[in-house]
Amino acid sequence: MKKLKLGYAPTRRFVFSAEDAFRYKVLIKEKIESFGLDIDIVDLEGLNQEGLLYDDHINADLIAERFRQENVDAVFFPHCNFGTEDTVARVGKALGKPVLLWGPRDEAPLEDGMRLRDTQCGLFATGKVLRRFNVPFTYVTNSRVNDPVFERGFTNFVAAANVVRQFRSLRILQIGPRPASFWTMMCNEGELLERFGIEIHPITLVDIQRASQRIEKGNSSELAEAIDYIKAKLDWSEVTEADVRRIAALKVAMKQYAVSTGSTAIAIQCWSSLQDAMGIMPCLANAILTDEQIPVTCETDIHGAITSVMVQAATMNQHPTFFADLTVRHPENANGELLFHCGNFPVSLSVEDKPKLRKHFLFDDHSPGTHEGEIKGGNMTLARFDGDHGEYQLFLGKARGIQGPYTRGSYVWVEVNDWPLWEEKLVKGPYVHHSVGIHANAIPALYEACQYIPGLTPDPVDPTEKEIQAWLRGAGL
């Protein structure tokens, strides 16, 4: 995954202190570089002597052209004094990328009563002009460079921008149609393209079967690496050497198709035609690819694949997702729920050092390929992109792992704040029985990303919308 590129366009106005604005331009850049984010920063150095956006000495066209040439994914306009609101708005409009608006809190007036910056006043002005230009933007509370609220707001904006850039370039590899009995997995491919620019690249089960067989018969380094991984990371004593090789070949074939088609996620018809054709289940192959940042969803769940990419991006691709059924309530905890699937959760999340590679427990002929076992608990985000009747929403909620009874497949028991509320929202909303989990707090970034994705409405259940907004303003710091 390429690094996110951030356009850095610090701004001042012809009044107030140019020297102080220049000083803050340097301080702010040093500060954001200290946050440890794996991003590239494109600044204005060389366009004028100051490297600042001000008046007409650097016009909007020149700035926008630099950022276009550098292919920036978002733009940050720190107001180093009052700022030049019209030029900021023109650049934001020309680029059509997520915009961050913030300025450092002003110091006390000088002894003679003069003020050096009036940054907050400029932020009010720029916010209004951005609205006039119909430029959506993120705002971080006027605060000092070293205040935690600035770091929180900046890092959350970068994560949200990462969601937006990956959402806008989404292509999903679809392997086979949805299973006939899974009406819940219907999606409107044309509408996804028209509304969001999301592309689906379909192939048949015959295509993946032929590719897997070709790889299985060969001796490629990719196949050897996949076989070695399975043998090293899993207890494969219940299956044969031939089974391991076939599963590894499927994993390699799926990845090669994803890379060659430019797909960032995969949705596969995992049952039951594939096991009839190939004699294996794809669950472990799905798990390994998801660990490699190519999330795979079961039952040809296109909306689940979209969710997976968004959730993964919200953590700057630092954590793997897991794709789960919402299945049964906890036998003793009224707010507990089982997150389960047949055997597709990433191996890296397993509680056991060597989880079991087994034959599928739901089918009479028991084809091998499921990776079973409990995964770690802790705090996590659960999310679901879904829609119907032309309206799309993003369900968001937080959960934490709890103890629960043993079950087959990949699983984790979780507790939420109010399961009956969750259940009602999931049943009555545009959602299904599938969700995407991640062991991180991805909710604020996903919430913020929605304002840059026309036609997608955030639907948070816990925390509430007001609680997310308060968090972004610094609550709890």
Domains 4-146 and 172-473 share a fold: no
**Pairing assessment for the beta strands 171-175 and 199-203 based on DSSP bridges:** parallel
Backbone angles phi and psi of 291, in degrees to 5: -65, -25
Instruction: Provide DSSP, 269-293.
Output: --SSHHHHHHSS-SHHHHHHHHHTT
CA gap 278, 25 in Å, rounded: 60
400: Cβ–Cβ under 8 A, 6 or more apart, which residues? 377, 378, 379, 380, 414, 415
Q: Where are the domains of the chain?
A: 4-146, 172-473
CA gap 93, 90 in Å, rounded: 5
Predicted pLDDT of residue 116: 77
CA gap 4, 323 in Å, rounded: 25
CA gap 162, 443 in Å, rounded: 14
CA gap 231, 178 in Å, rounded: 31
Closest CA to 53 of 83, 33, 28: 83
Identify the CATH number of the domain defined by range 172-473.
3.40.275.10
The alpha carbon of 206 is separated from its chain's Cα centroid by a whole number of angstroms, namely: 31
Q: What is the mean pLDDT of each run of 10 residues along the chain (477 residues)?
A: 94 86 96 97 93 80 95 97 93 97 90 81 96 98 97 98 98 95 94 98 97 98 98 97 98 98 97 89 98 97 98 97 98 98 97 95 86 97 97 98 97 98 96 97 98 98 97 91
In angstroms, the Cα distances linking 221 to 288, 355, 461 are 16, 25, 46
Closest CA to 196 of 394, 14, 441, 331: 394
Closest CA to 344 of 304, 285, 292: 285
Identify the CATH number of the domain defined by range 4-146.
3.40.50.10940
Angle (CA) 264 268 411, round 5°: 95
Q: What is the DSSP letter of 39?
A: E
Predicted pLDDT of residue 49: 87
**Pairing assessment for the beta strands 368-374 and 138-139 based on DSSP bridges:** unpaired
In the numeric block, the tokens 């049964």 are attached to: 328
Give the length of the chain.
Answer: 477
**Contact of 234 with 206, CB cutoff 8 Å:** no
